[in-house]
Every structure is written in C-alpha cells, then in structure tokens.
Amino acid sequence: MSEKILAVAAGHKITEEELNRLISNYPPEQQIYMSSPQARQEVLEQLIAFHLFHRMAVEEKITESQEYADMVEKLKVELASHMAATSVVEKIRVSEEEERSYYQENQELFQEEGQVSAKHILVDSREQAEQVAAKLAGGLAFEEAAEKYSTCPSKDRGGDLGYFSKGQMVPEFEKAAFGAEIGKVIGPVETQFGHHLILVEDKKGASRRSFEQAEAQIHQQLIQAKQQEAYQAKVQELSEAYGVERMDV
C-alpha cells in the first residue's frame, strides 16, 4: 500500500509517516495536543516551509559554502559524541533489590511530617473577628462567612487552605491550627496579616511513605547516580587512553 501524501513542496512528497515522525519528536505532553487536526495542520505547514527553504539553500548554493561545511562537521562531532556518551549509560539498570536496600538504609528520607487541613477567615481587627465569630456561633456557615468577610484570597473557596505541614504558615497561625480541636472554630488568632478565625477539618499524623509509594522516586535517583558514576568512570578511562592536557583558564 502506497503512503498517503499530504503535500508536495518543491518537488518533495510529504507523507503522513514523515508528519507522524516529526510529531513523535515532541515531548509527550505536546504530542497530546498534536493529535488535533488543527495542530497537525500547523506541523504540516512547518514541514512545507522546511522543504521550501531546503530547496532555496540548494539553489543558492548555501550547501556548497564553507560555512555550511564547517557547521556540518561541527554537528557530526556533536552527534557522534552524544551517541558515544549515550551508549555508556543507556544499558544501566537498577534491580528491585537495590531499590529496597536503599529504602531500608535511608528511611528518614521518606518520613512525612504531620499535616493539618484547615479553613480560615482573615479580617483586619480583633473586634471584626469577634463579630464574625458571634455570627458563626449563631449558625452562619463558615464557608459563607469566609466568602463574605475574609480579606484572604482563599475566601473564594470558603477559606479553604488545604493540607499544610509545620513551617508552611506563620508561627502564630501554625501553633493555633496544630493545637486546635477538629471541627471547632478557634480565634481570633493574631498574625502579621491580621486576625484569623480557624476551623481545622482534619489532621494527619507523621508517617513514612511505603516502599511502593517511594519506588519510582528511588528508581530514578539510583539510575541517575549509576549513570553519573559510569559517565565519570568512562571519562577517566578515555582520558588515560587518549590523553588530556588542561591549561589555565
């Protein structure tokens, strides 16, 4: 079966295979976008321009210039060097046994601190905070009060700050939130930003990520470490084989 021809530019037949090959060189997240007809058409236009300029380069004898020859030689050296370096590291593997051993020997790296999930209402003065607290005690929903009275951007989501660990909030707010009872509004709590009413919705104690949760991270770390070690060892080996003389910069 003959290949589907999408365009002919300067006599060159641009096939669907050529277009797909170019798209496959894009990062994965961009390839998703490239699946749309509009995006594929944009890439096709790039290919058309590419072949038109190539014909121009040939006819104006750019490909016969010394500058062109020098650039081609430079690219050859860079490509060969890259391929040789890649050949050193591409076959490196890490076993699950190595990953588990690393996990056992470095468990402190996978420790996760306790977290609190909280909502808050921020106002300018203690008096305002106490007035809002009275409305909450009278039955006003916390989310509604946050949207109506809070000066913090979080008011758009009912004052929700999500989960946070120690060190992520100012000390006064952090101390109050971590010490608060779940489901009970506390405050006013004064910070440099104003006066807060805080509603803690959940708490998570300190924990350690399991091996299964950390395996992908461990695998990447060990692969990178092994590749760097192999790369440096090969550089040293090649230096001794071919010679290196370093001058003062």
Residue 44 located in a structural domain: yes
Secondary structure of residue 116 in the 3-state scheme: strand
Picking from 39-43, 95-99, 169-173, 218-222, which range would have the lowest pLDDT averaged per residue?
39-43
Task: Confirm whether 182 is domain-assigned.
Answer: yes
Rounded distance, CA 197 to CA 82, Å? 59
Residues 122 and 197 in one domain: yes
**Where is the domain boundary, 184, 205, 226?**
205
Closest CA to 72 of 61, 81, 63: 63
Q: Looking at the predicted structure, is the pLDDT value of residue 196 above 90?
A: yes
Number of compact structural domains in the chain: 2
Given 20, 43, 60, the domain boundary residue is 60
Sign of CA dihedral 121, 127, 132, 138: positive
Residue 249 pLDDT > 80, yes or no? no
| Amino acid letter, 134 | A
The average confidence (pLDDT) of the chain is 93
For residue range 131-171, what is the model confidence (pLDDT) as tens digits? Answer: 999 999 999 999 999 999 999 999 999 999 999 998 899 99
Of 35, 60, 85, which residue sits at a domain end?
60
Q: Is residue 68 part of a domain?
A: no
Per-residue pLDDT tens over the stretch 10-22? 999 999 999 999 9
Domain presence at residue 167: yes
Domain range for residue 123? 114-205
- 76 lies in some domain: no
Q: Are 154 and 170 in contact (CB under 8 A)?
A: no
| 129 inside domain | yes
Same domain for 52 and 118: no
Residue 218 belongs to a domain? no
Two structure tokens written together for 219: 């695998």
Contacts of 150 (CB under 8 A, 6+ apart): 120, 121, 122, 123, 159
The pLDDT assigned to 34 comes to 77
What burial class does residue 217 get, using C-beta atoms within 10 Å of its C-beta: 0-12 exposed, 13-18 middle, 19+ buried?
Answer: middle
**What is the pTM assigned to this prediction?**
0.58
Sorting pLDDT into bands at 50, 70 and 90, what band is 30? confident
CATH of the domain at 130: 3.10.50.40
Across-strand partners of 117?
163, 202
Residue 212 counted as domain residue: no
CA torsion 190-196-198-203 (nearest 10°) is -60
